[in-house]
Amino acid sequence: MDQQNFQIVNMDIRVIWRIGLSDRDALNSQYQTEDLAGMIRSLARQILVTQFASKQLDELLDEQRATLASELSRQIQQRLTALHTGVELLFTRIEAIHPPAGAANAYHGVQAAQIAANALIAREQGYAEKVSREAQRNALTGLNNAEASAAENLSQARAAAVTFSAERQAWQQAGEAFITERRYHILSQALAHTPLLILDSHLQGSSEPVLDLRQYPALSDSTAPQKASTP
């Protein structure tokens, strides 16, 4: 046989209300009860007892406060409307839920674990976002570099095509003269900064160039002071 036990759970709630805007609501608020605040407090307590009695302890502690507050506000407003009090609830908020003494440590441990888990999730989400942004930036950089390189290669290819077309037309018009001119132009560019020694057997006259390829030993300096010999 299942055994049931009851534990005391305290809850702090804040209820903000006002008198309805119609004349009927104003009259009802004056003649239906003498203490509106006390009646609202009493109704809220009754509904809280009903809610707590139908829930397990862990279910009550784990339930979202916003959802529970919305349900409490709905039920309190229904009771107030049924009693023709002329009261309109504006806001209901659960300030705190105090678990029983025996479950307080476990409840706070669960809350701490949930906070740590949420912090870890937020940190990992931030890291994932950082990695994603970095990957997007690297991909965009690679794409831009590839497009720039392709544009440069295309420009060079077009320039080479224009040069080839112009030289082809010049060759068709000038023939061998263009080939000779191009050869001289290339030679002049290649030899512009190269030292040259030109030997021509057709040179005539008494001042013909002579290359002396003989090698002589290095001469010692006779003016340098001689070291004194040691006896």
Confidence of residue 102 (pLDDT cuts 50, 70, 90): low
Rounded mean pLDDT of 159-180?
85
Closest CA to 42 of 66, 68, 50, 8: 50
Rounded mean pLDDT of 223-230?
52
Q: Where do the H-state alpha helices sit in 54-175?
A: 57-62, 65-82, 101-174
Core vs surface per residue 120-150: b (16+ CB within 10 A) or e: eeeeeeeeeeeeeeeeeeeeeeeeeeeeeee
Domain ranges of the chain: 10-98
- Which secondary-structure segment (H or E) carries 206? none
Domain formed by 10-98, architecture = 2-Layer Sandwich (3.30)
Contact 101, 45 (CB under 8 A): no
Q: Is the model's pTM score more than 0.75?
A: no
In degrees rounded to 5, what are phi and psi of residue 208?
-75, 145
Q: Tell me the pLDDT of the chain averaged across its residues.
A: 77
Q: pLDDT per residue over 180-222, tens digit each?
A: 888 888 878 877 777 766 666 666 666 666 666 566 666 555 5
Residue 231 has pLDDT above 60, yes or no: no
Q: pLDDT per residue over 58-87, tens digit each?
A: 666 655 677 778 888 888 888 888 888 888
